[in-house]
Chain A
Amino acid sequence: MLPLLLSLFADSLGSAETFADYKDTVSNPLVKLILFGLLWAFLHHFCAGIRFLLLDVHKGLDLASSRQSARLVLIVSLVLTVLIGVKLW
């Protein structure tokens, strides 16, 4: 998926013409679906990463709070995906 993202990024910054190509590509429903899937994956990794960094410094290490934070990661990343998804649609 990295080549897809990099080529989209290249198009978006190349010139006004390639920017129009980029707009065309991302308005395709299938591409949109893939991008939202990737957005969710990224946001989940982002939230889970922050959780792991906190666990590294011994924050919330006990069973009850680590279960709770795991649930929180799932919820927050989904909410963020929906919010950004709605904003970008």
Chain B
Amino acid sequence: MVKRIVVGAHYGLRDWIGQRVTAIVMALYSVYFGICALMLPEMSYEAWSGMFAGGFMRFFSFLFFMSLFYHAWVGVRDIFMDYIQPVGIRLTLHVIVMFLLIGYAGWAAQILWRL
């Protein structure tokens, strides 16, 4: 007989992997960003915006921000699941954090593609 579990969220593994994949993306980006920033001849607007003008840098930066917000979502949600027991408050907090993170994602896209 198949054992059916009727409680719980069942997305543990997906989020566990998501957390690690986004972590690796951010770690690689951090190193890449650090090297690029160190190679800038001077900290001027031209040099700095030039660094973000290339298609690859823009794409990688956007990927970093998406990873950051998904990673933050998993982390914050886990904290709320552990420490905020009243369902109403937890749901409210989840919704607030979710909308904030989606808003930040839009903001990041706007910054990167306005150049």
- A7-51 contact mask (Cβ, 8 Å, vs B): 1 or 0: 001101111100110000000000000000000000000100110
- Residues of B in contact (CB 8 Å), total 19
Known contacts A6-B104, A50-B27: A19-B48 contact under CB 8 Å: yes
A56 to B13 Cα, complex, angstroms: 13
Determine, out of B2-10, B84-92, B107-115, the stretch whose residues face the partner at the interface. B107-115
- B15-29 contact mask (Cβ, 8 Å, vs A): 1 or 0: 000001001100100
Contact between chains at B24 and A53 (CB < 8 Å): yes
Query: Which B residues, 53 to 76, have Cβ-Cβ distances below 8 Å to chain A?
Result: 72
A3 to B101 Cα, complex, angstroms: 10
Contact between chains at A46 and B27 (CB < 8 Å): yes
Q: Which of A2, A6, A46, A53 contacts B111 (CB 8 A)?
A: A6
Contact between chains at A6 and B108 (CB < 8 Å): yes
Contacts of A9 in B (CB 8 A): 108, 111
A10 to B104 Cα, complex, angstroms: 12
Tell me if B99 counts as interface (CB < 8 A to partner A). no
Q: Which of B20, B107, B108, B110 contacts A53 (CB 8 A)?
A: B20
A contact set with B: CB distance below 8 Å: 2-3, 6, 9-10, 12-16, 19-20, 46, 49-50, 53, 56
Given contacts A3-B104, A6-B111, A13-B111, 17 further A-B contacts (CB under 8 A): A2-B100, A2-B104, A6-B104, A12-B45, A12-B48, A13-B48, A13-B52, A13-B112, A15-B45, A19-B48, A20-B45, A46-B27, A46-B30, A49-B23, A50-B27, A53-B20, A53-B23
